[in-house]
Structure 1
Amino acid sequence: MAEQPLPGTALLAQVLAADNTEAPPLRTIRRGSQPPARGPEDGKPPSLLSRRNSILSRRSSFGMVPGSRRPSWMLHKRVSFTGLPIFQPILKTRLENTYRIGPDKGCKFDAERVQRVLEGTLACALGTAAYSPQGSAPLAQSLTELLQNQAKEVVPPRYKLVCHVVLGQQGQQSLVVASRGLWDPETDSFASATFSNTSLFAVATVYGVYFE
């Protein structure tokens, strides 16, 4: 009597025959390289992987600084989520002090010259002016700015000017204006001038303080 194969023997033989067949070799693609293009006989469009690699290569070359291996966004401290740099405002250049503790020779505050400027400016601005309680405050403020600008033209550089103006109604009254300050008498000084007409009087004082 002939031996009959077991029911699972044929199935096992088929599995072993399938394992012995040679499988097609796998293609290994390195990151950043494009897979080989297929011929026209395949009839299929190029894979999405090659398109993605081309986009990445374009993005990697975008924003490169000429003559540098780093992209431009790496040269900035802040970068947005899109990868573009966030440009910060340009800060103003601050220069160090020259540490001059005194003015140059012949560049001191000339009180007599400044006084002549104050007298001429007051005479031109208040020649025929009349006193007004409502207009005295803005008139004194405008006189202060005018006298300070005129004194800057004759005062040497590195001097800070402080201008003070007293304006009042002419009524045959007596008035004393006094001031006191802390400064260096070797470099700092002041100039004062007065003006009066039938309606008002004005006392202007400009202080010149040397700035180191």
Structure 2
Amino acid sequence: MEVESATTTLTMDSANISQDDDLLLSLKPSMDLPPPPVNRLKGGSELERRESTDSNFSLRPSYKQKFKAPVAKQIIQNILHQRLNDALYDKDQAPGWAREISQEIKQKLLELDLNQYKYIVNVTIMENRSAGTRIQCSCAWDRDTDSVAHETFKNDTIVCTIMAFGVYFY
């Protein structure tokens, strides 16, 4: 798809002023003329013209650039097993662990280099007392581009639940 853009500067000493330009200049002598329309697209479907007006920006990510929950889930599992596999629950250390784990997951997600995605990582660490827990989340998002990866880790003393959201930033 080709994008054509043009900028024209009109000066008073230009020899090629058209009659329309003369009329505009006579009606608004003290005002500058606005530049002509830019980004005139040639060819392509209506959808392509609507979705891409600049080569660096698109309204939707390509399939390869979408947040994939299974990939994020694998990242979460690897970090959880590295950090918490042999850990014992300590109420004083749990908030620090949660912060460190969330930052590490976010950093790994950023390394996926998915343009225009923002990440939200929620880590909850609790003591495992064999009690039931329910964590629920509700979001308003675009089903086509946004997704969530979640994982629950348990050992003898710790229960850790992680939700990593990938939200496409329009």
1:145 pairs with one of 89, 97, 103 = 103
Whichever residue aligns with residue 114 of structure 2, its letter is: P
Q: Deviations over 1:143-185 (max 9, x none)?
A: 1111111222235221100000010001111111111111111
Deviation at 1:199, TM superposition (A): 1.0
Equivalent residue, structure 1, for 2:149: 191
Please state if 1:103 is matched with 2:89.
no
* Separation (CA, whole Å) in 1 of partners of 2:151 and 2:115: 22
User: Is 2:119 aligned against 1:157?
Assistant: no
Contact kept in structure 2, 1:194 and 1:203, CA below 8 Å: yes
Q: Which amino acid aligns with 2:70?
A: E
1:176 alignment counterpart:
134
Moved more, 150-159 or 107-116: 150-159
**Whole-Å Cα distance in 2 between the matches of residues 118 and 144 of structure 1?**
9
Q: 1:135 matched to which residue of 2?
A: 93
Q: For residues 189 and 196 of structure 1, what CA distance do their matches in structure 2 show?
A: 24
Paired residue total: 117
Paired with 2:133 and 2:166, the residues of 1 have a C-alpha distance of 24
**Which one has a bigger Cα radius of gyration?**
1
TM-score, structure 1 as length reference = 0.52
What value does the CA root-mean-square deviation take over the aligned residues? 1.9
Structure 1 SS opposite 2:126:
strand
Structure number with higher relative contact order (C-alpha < 8 Å, ≥ 6 residues apart): 2
CA distance in structure 2 between the aligned counterparts of 1:207 and 1:128, rounded to whole angstroms: 27
Alignment of 1:26-105 (within 5 A): 99-105=57-63
TM-score between both structures, scaled by the size of structure 2: 0.64
Deviations 1:78-114 (A, max 9, x none): xxxxxxxxxxxxxxxxxx9x55211124211111111
> Measured at CA, do residues 129 and 150 of structure 1 come closer, stay the same or move farther in structure 2, by a change above 3 Å?
same
Q: CA deviation at 1:134?
A: 1.2
* Runs (5+) with no aligned partner, structure 2: 1-53
The structure that is strand-richer by fraction is 2
Q: Which runs of 5+ in 1 are unaligned?
A: 1-95
Please point out which of 115, 118, 121 is paired with 2:73: 115
